[in-house]
Structure 1
């Protein structure tokens, strides 16, 4: 018991002076409630990144008119022209939002109805290196606004990065567990349990502005990497 108490004292001192691996690994009491430990639990995390392989473009067609019917009809006509142009260019636009609402002037003592505004939003995929060209096609064929351009990963590519992040997170957890076990003159054995924790996915998004294109040159983008994060909690046997 004296040797066990000494080892635990050393372990507490070492843990108090560590801010990295040791803070994520916790020795677990033995099943019989004694001062010894027979397992250690550690949490590991990892981030992986890769170049995007798909661009998601969101554009809108808008019109304002004196009546709701006129605004609706104008947007319908412009949307049809936009949809046809995008399809001819090889894209498959889908409607993601549609709004028709009254417009008011609030400058007086009471609000005054001044017309109606209709908006139809389309979203479509493009190759990352052709995202600028896709934006130009949309703007040149009736798009009133470019809401966003998101650079993402295809489902298959995203799954591959997630798998790699999970594997790296397991390695991170084992490293923490080994550091704590070493401080107690013990070693890490096999895994007793494993639990997948939080996961994250961060596409690269850019906002389109008028300065993104000029009369002499088409729109172009330089997307950054897309990141995937993962964490795991693993309990290991102590030997």
Structure 2
């Protein structure tokens, strides 16, 4: 009896194993046993649009040295207020005059021992105006502050660190769209040339990508003497901005047959 009971169970197990071995193999959903063999042509294109600057950015520095930190701070505050007043009176909006930095630090004389000689305070500002106003802003700012005379132990000065001619954000975005269109057209022209030479036909775009490519014009370094004669009189400051180029690059992958 015991042998007769085990034999049917063994036979049933063998039948189940045979069924599993004979079942077809299935791939994981979403997986592919073959690679993508679609033929393609890959090209890149660069597009440029050149225009005149519509924004001037002027960086100013107001500096003073004094015996105490509070005196240096107060002198700088007076000159910054005078600069702001001169610019707003000339029509520059308050929001277009921005502080970019403020520092106060001790100054030392170094010899046999370190000796504290005073404090220096610096207030830096950024002013944004139309390009044709840049020279006027420079003259107003430089002429607005107090003047140090030769021989004074402590000094105060207003300097123009640099001037940059560039584009407003709205104008930049507008021209970038045009530059991208030019870049795509240049990439397609190269792809067409390759396709003609290879005797194939372009059927579509498989992939496209781009990267930032805005190129501002160089800025101008402007330095002024600190004496009263240089601050008063003389011809007005005139600047000649160069063109601004907006550049875009695209990478294109075209399908062919």
TM-score range, shorter chain: 0.7 to 0.9
- Residue matched to 1:68: 69
1:1-239 alignment to 2 at 5 Å? 33=37, 38-91=39-92, 92=94, 93-106=97-110, 108-142=111-145, 144-210=158-224, 215-239=233-257
Distance in 2 between residues matched to 1:52 and 1:168, nearest whole Å: 20
Structure 2 vs 1, CA of residues 66 and 238 (structure 1 numbering), >3 Å: closer, same or farther? Answer: same
Structure 2 vs 1, CA of residues 32 and 155 (structure 1 numbering), >3 Å: closer, same or farther? Answer: closer
Q: CA deviation at 1:203?
A: 3.5
Say which SS state the counterpart of residue 217 (structure 1) adopts: coil
Distance in 1 between residues matched to 2:45 and 2:217, nearest whole Å: 23
Say which SS state the counterpart of residue 53 (structure 2) adopts: coil
More strand by share: 1
Question: How many positions carry a matched residue from both structures?
Answer: 206
Say which SS state the counterpart of residue 71 (structure 1) adopts: helix
Distance in 2 between residues matched to 1:198 and 1:31, nearest whole Å: 32
The unaligned stretches of length 5 or more in structure 1 are 1-29
In terms of Rg, which structure is larger? 2
The unaligned stretches of length 5 or more in structure 2 are 1-33, 146-156
Contact 1:213-1:219 at 8 Å conserved across structures: no
Q: What do the CA deviations read for 1:139-179 (whole angstroms, capped 9, x no partner)?
A: 11016100111111111110111011111110111122122
Q: CA deviation at 1:209?
A: 2.5
Q: CA deviation at 1:97?
A: 0.7
Distance in 2 between residues matched to 1:176 and 1:52, nearest whole Å: 31
More deviation, 218-227/205-214: 205-214
Say which SS state the counterpart of residue 227 (structure 1) adopts: strand
Give the alignment's TM-score, normalised by structure 1.
0.79
Q: CA deviation at 1:213?
A: 8.9
Give the alignment's TM-score, normalised by structure 2.
0.74
Contact 1:96-1:121 at 8 Å conserved across structures: yes
The alignment's C-alpha RMSD in Å is 2.2
Distance in 2 between residues matched to 1:204 and 1:226, nearest whole Å: 9
Contact 1:213-1:220 at 8 Å conserved across structures: no
Say which SS state the counterpart of residue 247 (structure 2) adopts: strand
Contact 1:197-1:233 at 8 Å conserved across structures: no
